[in-house]
Structure 1
Amino acid sequence: MMTLTRTFRRVIGREAEAAAPAKRAETRAPVLETPPIDIAPNDPILAYFTAGSGAVAIDDLQLDSTAVRALRAAGVKLVVPLISQGELIGLLNLGRRLSEQDYSTDDRRLLEKLAAQASPAVRVAQLVREQEAEVRARERIEQELRVAQLIQQQFLPKSVPNLPGWQVAAFYRAAAQVGGDFYDFIELPDDKLGLVVGDVTGHGVPAALVMATTRSVLRSEAPRLVAPSKVLERVNDFLNNDIPQNMFVTCLYAVLDPATGAMRYANAGHDLPFVRRGHDVTELRATGMPLGAMPGMQYEEKEATLAPGDVLLLHSDGVAEAHDAGHQMFGFPRMRKLFGDLGSGHELIDGLLESLHDFTGPTWEQEDDITLVTLSRSSVHGETEHVLVEFEESSAPGNERRIMDRVASSVRDIGLDAKRFERLKTAVSEAAMNAIEHGNRLDVELPVPPSPRRPTSRRSSKDARSRAAGASS
């Protein structure tokens, strides 16, 4: 606890001299100016001031107290406790009187009365100061969160890779405090693709900076080393030298050969990926310490093959470790079961998020970042395509709407759910607009698309669960 400011002590000191106005004018001495004195929470003087009443002569105290010795060394002779609603909120310290006389009973009574009147105002001033400090702290936190969000948005992929024969979808949503989740797709030699999903401990700017560093090292080393285990070893050694204390990174890194479906992977303590083969769901296991935790770590590397129809789900713990109003956790078993029952791509992601919302309720505040990356290999056996409509339009401005309406009309009756239907309309409209404005440069003599092929809407008869419909233009 600290004493009051020198200004307040000076004013009270002058009031104390009201009993001897004639002598004060002639014998004014310098007003005692002492810095505020810190008092430890366990110092016995605090209990003495709180339990006692009225002004206290410091020279008369018989306490083994560091604060008492500090007060005496500062020249304090009289202390008047400031009490507000039974709480000691400050001390009014006074040195010798300017007249060099002792403080009289009337002097003490006047000081105690002034202290009683001033205490509520002092407490209000303290509360206002505390509130102002809290506002400044909130503003700093909000600014930090904005910076962290900007860092994350800058380094997350702007789009997913276009892999013939594969469907790739990703979802990321930051928590209120902004954690350190990240994912990435890295182009590698021989047309291979690096898949990354990770989570940095902590929140705010520190986590975002470590995330950005980890991503940068991964992108630098992955094309050179290729092997997932070697890449994680290199990133771990780099981070171990520079990562802040008590921080580390969990990370799953996989290398996919899209031509064969072969995938090699290594795991640095991250949540296990799920793979669905038919109706069976398995986990891809590989051992390894989190990145930055210890130097010289080695990482187990394993291989799996994604056959036609298989689905891979990479994720962080934001879904599984969410809690409902009763503090029950969503859990990995629930997530695994849903993964086995849902479709693929955005249908899978939407289904997981809808189930999470139903579990947590509308008032849930997201506890951690949520990251979901799904990769599914198209089935090639027994699949047939049916052309629903085939047409062409001129490249006149606004014709993207006509193209979108005609495709929407052709697929309206094939059973798409509302979300997928609207997503399809948006995709067709954007593709047609790009063809009109950029491909044909608004030349009305040219049809959409600028190739001999006409816009075609097709339906796949293979996957009954997702009832997938695609549009090409």
Structure 2
Amino acid sequence: GLPLGRLDLDAEMRIVEIDDAFHHVFGDATSLRGQPLDMLVSERDSRGAVALAGRLNRYHGEVIDLALTIRVNAVDQFARLRLVKVDDRFVVYVESAEGAGHASRDLAVLRQRWDGVMRRSDEGIVLLDSEGTILQHNVRFFELMRFRTAHGVTLTEDALNGRQLTSLLSRPFAALRDRLAAGEDEFAIEIVIENRTLEVEGRMLRLAAQRGVETLLLVRDLSERQQIAARDAVIQADLEQAALFQRSVLARASNPSGLGIDVTYRPLQGVGGDLYDVAVLDGGTVRLFIADATGHGMTAALSTMLIKTEYDMVKATATPGATLMALNERIFRNHTKLAVMFTAAIVDIAPDHRTLTYSCGAHPAPLVVHADRVIEFEEGGPPLGARGGLKFPEWTSTFDHWQGLVLVTDGFAEARNSRGEMFGDARLHAAIADADARGRPIGTTVLSSLDTYLQTQPLTDDLTLLEVHPRGIRRLTAEATQ
């Protein structure tokens, strides 16, 4: 079999034992002993860190299976992690997934994508084995089918696991039972039940490698369409109002003395999970704050309101790193049940405009235009909101004549074209350098470059770019609206 490393964790998710196989596959990992599991994740894999923190925060005894980048001895490696609970402790099996075409890596990524489709789908989805036994289903399938026993008692969702679907179907579903028994490759039927019309599509999946057959069923409630259309109109109106409210909270930043500030903000769904703030502290230090909450749309927008409220309570804290620590404690202590998680960065510009002090929490590093080059600062730190007691690294840099300071969310670099290729940091940096060379607003130029790269491919994340430049630097009027 493939080499697997094993980590034993205590009840607090700290690494207490590391087996020889892990050392052999990933190198000497002695320094990991006693560390929390999330410290294994590379600082450059912010999405992996957020995904792991989210799964651990909502853990209910299931197997956690994730593909992410780990760091051992300052070396990043792509790996597959599977965590299982054994009595009152935890065991993590770690398998290297380095190299193009690695089967474990491909399967892990595909599984995560499939699980994501199952969770997010508005359709009921169920997968049956060759005997008609339920292998996997989503919550929407359970909601639409409304299974009951012969005595009219509503079944629980857990009661579906491992059961034959046909044994659960009541008389109105006789047509579906017949189609499944006939073994048709594809079929589509409509079933009227309880003043509802359900559309059921079935497709046989022939698995050559396993010499077996599985059946995929999709269930839709057609009677909901008109209700959904009416509800969508109300939701759209609410979204437009929410967008106005969010934009009022994210009001255009005022220009501190000697500095010009431009903001480019493009939410994915009218409202979004990105957040920024500009403040002048006592003594004249200008503090910039940018954050990216997990998710999109209304849920993420509500998270930004909580983050903004708590940030306003701590934003005068002495240093950027201390501010992120205080913000994380308030979010974790006051909103634990809401599982608010986000990445963030804070940059302090000293009154002399030469010294930049900054701290990051799994957020893209600040960028500085200096001597006609784009310089990427260091990055690191954990995502905020996952747990209390977190510390955040802090750095200081000095520049005599910088031309621009740029803070972004990861929606720019991680945007993908129709071939699945990311826009990436190199193109982002090139667009920033081009804007500076031509004296144009950085946000407008970056958006134009991104739109050209994507062509008709839609965005998949919110976009926020905060640009700061000394007043002596020439900038044409920005076309991008905030």
Helix, strand or coil at the partner of 1:374: strand
**Among 190, 194, 197, which residue is 1:125 paired with?**
197
Once the two structures are superposed, residues 4-51 of structure 1 have per-residue CA deviations (whole angstroms, 9 ceiling, x without a partner) of: 99xxxxxxxxxxxxxxxxxxxxxxxxxxx97487695865582xxxxx
**Amino-acid identity (%):** 23
Give the equivalent residue in structure 1 for 2:364: 271
Q: Please name the residue that 2:319 is paired with.
A: 227
> How many Å separate the matches in 2 of 1:263 and 1:422?
25
Aligned-partner SS, 1:194: strand
Which residue number corresponds to residue 246 of structure 2? 152
Label 1:233 to 1:3 Cα distance change in 2 as closer, same or farther (>3 A): closer
Closer, same or farther: CA 422–312 of 1 in aligned 2, 3 Å: closer
**Structure 1 SS opposite 2:464:** strand
Kept in 2, the 8 Å contact 1:286–1:302? The answer is no
Q: Matched residues in 2 for 1:201 and 1:421: separation?
A: 32
2:294 equivalent among 187, 196, 201: 201
Relative to structure 1, the CA distance from residue 133 to residue 287 in structure 2 (aligned partners, 3 Å threshold; closer, same or farther) is: same
Write the mapping of 1:159-238 to structure 2, written as runs, cut at 5 A.
159-164=253-258, 166-176=259-269, 178-223=271-316, 225-238=317-330
Deviation, structure 1 residue 195: 0.5
* Deviates further, 305-314 or 323-332: 305-314
Asked if the contact 1:194/1:256 (under 8 Å) is kept, the reply is yes
Equivalent in the alignment of 1:358: 452
Post-superposition offset of 1:422: 9.6
Assess if the C-alpha contact under 8 Å between 1:197 and 1:251 holds in 2: yes
- Between the aligned partners of 1:278 and 1:285, the Cα distance in structure 2 is 19
Residues in 1 aligned to 2:172 and 2:415: alpha-carbon distance in whole angstroms: 53
Residue equivalent to 1:28: none
Q: CA, structure 1 residues 260+328, in 2 after alignment: closer, same or farther (shift >3 Å)?
A: closer
- SS in structure 1 of the partner of residue 323 of structure 2: helix
TM-score (norm 1): 0.54
More strand by share: 2
> Is the counterpart of residue 313 in structure 1 residue 406 in structure 2?
yes
The count of corresponding residues between Structure 1 and Structure 2 is: 300
SS of the residue corresponding to residue 288 of structure 2 reads strand
Alignment of 1:243-282 (within 5 A): 243-244=336-337, 246-282=339-375
Offset, 1:377: 2.2
Quick one: which amino acid aligns to residue 327 of structure 2?
Answer: V
How is 1:11-50 mapped onto 2 (pairs within 5 angstroms)? Answer: 35=152, 40=160, 43-44=163-164, 46=166
Higher mean alpha-carbon deviation, 277-286 vs 293-302, is at 277-286
Match of 2:128 in 1: none
- How far apart are the structure 2 equivalents of 1:202 and 1:120? 35
Whose Rg is larger? Answer: 1
Where does residue 396 of structure 1 map in the other structure? none
Counterpart contact for 1:268–1:299, Cα < 8 Å: yes
Residues 1:203 and 1:85: Cα distance change in structure 2 (over 3 Å)? same
Partner Cα separation in structure 1 for residue 452 and residue 266 of structure 2: 17
Aligned to 2:218: none
**Helix, strand or coil: the match of 2:384?**
coil
Displacement, 1:304? 1.8
Query: Amino acid of the residue matched to residue 125 of structure 1?
Result: T
Q: Any gaps of 5 or more consecutive residues in structure 2?
A: 1-143, 181-189, 200-221
* Counterparts of 2:309 and 2:164, CA distance in 1: 56
Shift of 1:270: 0.7
Does the C-alpha gap of structure 1 residues 285 and 37 become closer, same or farther in structure 2, counting only changes over 3 Å?
Answer: closer
Structure ranking higher in helix proportion? 1
1:170/1:373 contact within 8 Å kept: yes
Structure 1: runs of 5 or more not aligned: 6-32, 47-64, 72-78, 89-118, 381-415, 424-473
Evaluate the alpha carbon distance shift between residue 44 and residue 315 of structure 1 in structure 2; reply closer, same or farther with a 3 A threshold.
Answer: closer
Aligned CA distance change for structure 1 residues 228 and 131 (closer, same or farther; 3 Å):
same
258-267 or 146-155: bigger deviation = 146-155
Q: CA RMSD in A?
A: 3.9
> Residue 61 of structure 2 corresponds to which residue in structure 1?
none
1:257 offset after TM fit, Å?
Answer: 2.0
Structure-2 separation of matches of 1:232 and 1:282: 23
Aligned residue runs from structure 1 range 124-143, under 5 A: 125-126=197-198, 128-132=222-226, 134-135=228-229, 138=232, 142=236
| Cα distance, 1:84–1:186 mapped onto 2, change above 3 Å | same
Shift of 1:284: 1.6
Residues 248 and 120 of structure 1: CA distance in aligned 2, closer, same or farther (over 3 Å): closer
Note if 1:348 corresponds to 2:447.
Answer: no
Structure 1 residues 3 and 207: CA distance shift in structure 2, 3 A: closer
- Change in Cα spacing, 1:229 to 1:202, as seen in structure 2 (3 Å) is same
DSSP-derived class of the 1:170 partner: strand
Whole-angstrom CA distance in 1 between matches of 2:427 and 2:324: 30
Q: Which residue of the partner structure matches residue 369 of structure 1?
A: 462
Change (3 A) 1:348 1:422: closer
Partner of 1:240: 332
Aligned to 1:454: none
After TM superposition, the structure 1 = structure 2 runs for residues 382-461 of structure 1, keeping only pairs within 5 Å, are 420=476
Asked if structure 2 preserves the Cα contact closer than 8 Å seen for 1:180 and 1:200, the reply is yes
> Per the alignment, do residues 126 and 133 of structure 1 end up closer, same or farther by CA in structure 2, a change over 3 Å counting?
farther
Amino acid across the alignment from 1:316: T
The SS at the match of 1:199 is strand
Secondary structure of 2:352's partner? coil
TM-score normalised over the length of structure 2: 0.54
